[in-house]
A and B are shown apart, each in its own frame.
Chain A
């Protein structure tokens, strides 16, 4: 049995410990906000927080997550009110929207560790997340805005 605490709720799952966390979240628990994009840690659509770190659930085995704390996009806030979610809405960031669960979960770690990221910091944090629609200019703007909403100065040039 694998025990996962996801968004503060604990699940006992009868799954192969080798199964990537992504599929346990999506298919077994039914949390589909976390997306499958590439399966090989290239695109970042599957990013969730494992004990606060923005891990890629498509290559992270359930075994590594066993008895650990996981936060998915569904648990980032109760009501879409995380500064990043507010900023994403304010800047109309998504187009198709498929990558943005992962984008937001990656950006959340950036803001936690660096409340006033520069454009360079944003590149350093976000170059692992692919957006095929090309919403990158807005992702950048929204992260700067979220930093401001969070009480930071915002470093937008």
Chain B
């Protein structure tokens, strides 16, 4: 298959984003209220495949770091730790991504990080992607992941603006506040966000390889 620097199709949908904004936010169940407004960031597309792909290389390193990937597993059990092993008590995703029965995420994962080493990290909105939109990172090549992220059918129906805003989502931000003993993603949040926006605004190109 050839999809080197293949252009993704979201420019078309950009026009529609104002209309779909309210709907998708509700449908996604994202914690919109707590997401700081960054709508001032220009979402004007200036296509530059080289710059876009270069930026994505940075993005990919972050998304594949344990802090992001552990909750975007290939299976239905989240991963744990800097070595991204299967969560030792085998909690399952559940239809909403919030766990099942007595093993719902929030039963252990508190609104904030629990103190001490090896205690559950926390966030008010701790969850996995839902069963009908798994947004798997684990095992994805850069090319696959880039294409997946900009595909509204696979990204939680996010358009460009929403994708950009997602960089400041509370759960995304928690990767940089991982609790004692866990390594942070390889870039700072501001570096990540800059690369993320650069990648998207320069056309959201998918690199063939890094």
CB atoms of A and B under 8 A apart anywhere in the complex? Answer: yes
CB under 8 Å from chain B, chain A span 53-77: 53-56, 59-61, 64
B38 smallest CB distance to A (angstroms): 29
B107 touches A42 (CB 8 A): no
Q: Mark A103-114, 1 if CB is under 8 A from B, else 0.
A: 001110110011
B89 touches A40 (CB 8 A): no
Stretch of A9-17, A87-95, A121-129, A133-141 on the interface side: A121-129
A20 smallest CB distance to B (angstroms): 9
B102 touches A110 (CB 8 A): yes
Query: Which residue on A lies nearest to B111, using beta carbons?
Result: A64
Does A2 lie at the interface of the complex (its beta carbon under 8 Å from any beta carbon of B)?
A: no
B-side contacts of A59, CB under 8 Å = 108, 110, 114, 119-120
Does B140 lie at the interface of the complex (its beta carbon under 8 Å from any beta carbon of A)?
A: no
B108 touches A124 (CB 8 A): no
| Bound: A157/B102 CA distance, A | 22
A-side contacts of B133, CB under 8 Å = none
A40 touches B103 (CB 8 A): no
B103 touches A41 (CB 8 A): no
Q: A40-B118, A59-B119 are in contact. Are A107 and B102 (CB under 8 A)?
A: yes
Interface core residue of A54, A107, A109, A127 (most chain B CB under 10 Å): A127
Does A47 lie at the interface of the complex (its beta carbon under 8 Å from any beta carbon of B)?
A: yes
B104 touches A53 (CB 8 A): yes
Interface core residue of A42, A105, A121, A123 (most chain B CB under 10 Å): A42
A-side contacts of B91, CB under 8 Å = 124, 127-128
A-side contacts of B119, CB under 8 Å = 40-41, 59
Q: Mark B98-132, 1 if CB is under 8 A from A, else 0.
A: 00111110111011001010111000000000000
**Residues of B at under 8 Å CB distance from A?**
88-92, 100-104, 106-108, 110-111, 114, 116, 118-120
The 6 closest A-B pairs by CB, nearest first: A106-B102, A125-B101, A54-B102, A41-B108, A110-B101, A128-B89
CB pairs A–B below 8 angstroms (10 shown): A40-B120, A41-B108, A53-B106, A53-B107, A55-B107, A59-B110, A59-B114, A59-B120, A61-B110, A106-B101
**Residues of A at under 8 Å CB distance from B?**
40-42, 44, 47, 53-56, 59-61, 64, 105-107, 109-110, 113-114, 121, 123-129
